């Protein structure tokens, strides 16, 4: 192979590394029994309540609670690159064992912050695909309903006024 052939091969190899990720590469990924929280290192399955994950083309970061995911996401350095955020739809799962078949886009979800059911780290943050399910849950368990764009770190930090159970 001549110099031109080698150069062409090198260019093709470099370009192949720049492919767009397939849409499936950014889909939600199921949780496993031995997954550790990206923030606190705890075993995720040891905690009740909804979980969160950040999926990028090269990595899946899992969190033991929606509050842990939101805390991670609130850091500006984590908002670079392509990350899709997912949370469990608690209208379609058991509080003690959220259903990975019902992971939803976190940016489109409704959230109830506070409430009387225990979660993992920090304030209990329950996630729902629909507003009426979030309102119903808040009516039964306490807490206040928010949209993703309304969420601020002061809402899910343990010192927040609506801290609920931990």
Mind listing the pLDDT tens digit for each residue in 10-36?
444 444 444 344 446 799 999 999 999
Task: Identify whether 4 is part of a domain.
Answer: no
Q: How many domains does the chain have?
A: 1
Task: Identify whether 165 is part of a domain.
Answer: no
Mind listing the pLDDT tens digit for each residue in 101-121?
999 999 999 999 988 998 887
Q: Quick one: pLDDT band at residue 70, thresholds 50, 70, 90?
A: very high
Task: Identify whether 14 is part of a domain.
Answer: no
74 neighbors 153 (Cβ within 8 angstroms): yes
98 neighbors 87 (Cβ within 8 angstroms): no
The CB-side HSE value for 149 (13 A sphere, CA atoms) comes to: 1
The count of residues in the chain is 166
Q: Quick one: tokens of 120?
A: 């993992």
What 3-state DSSP class applies to 166? coil
């Amino acid at each position: 192979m001549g110099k031109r052939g080698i150069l062409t091969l090198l260019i093709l190899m470099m370009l192949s590394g720049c492919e767009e990720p397939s849409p499936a590469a950014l889909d939600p990924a199921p949780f496993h029994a031995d997954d550790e929280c990206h923030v606190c290192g705890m075993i995720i399955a040891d905690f009740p309540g909804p979980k969160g994950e950040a999926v990028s083309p090269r990595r899946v970061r899992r969190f033991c609670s929606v509050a842990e995911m939101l805390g991670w996401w609130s850091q500006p350095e984590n908002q670079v690159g392509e990350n899709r955020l997912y949370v469990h739809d608690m209208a379609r799962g058991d509080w003690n064992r959220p259903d990975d078949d019902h992971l939803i886009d976190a940016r489109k979800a409704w959230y109830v912050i506070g409430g009387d059911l225990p979660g993992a780290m920090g304030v209990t943050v329950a996630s729902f695909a629909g507003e009426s399910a979030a309102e119903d849950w808040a009516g039964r368990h306490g807490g206040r309903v928010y949209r993703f764009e309304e969420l601020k770190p002061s809402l899910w930090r343990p010192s927040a006024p609506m801290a609920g159970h931990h």
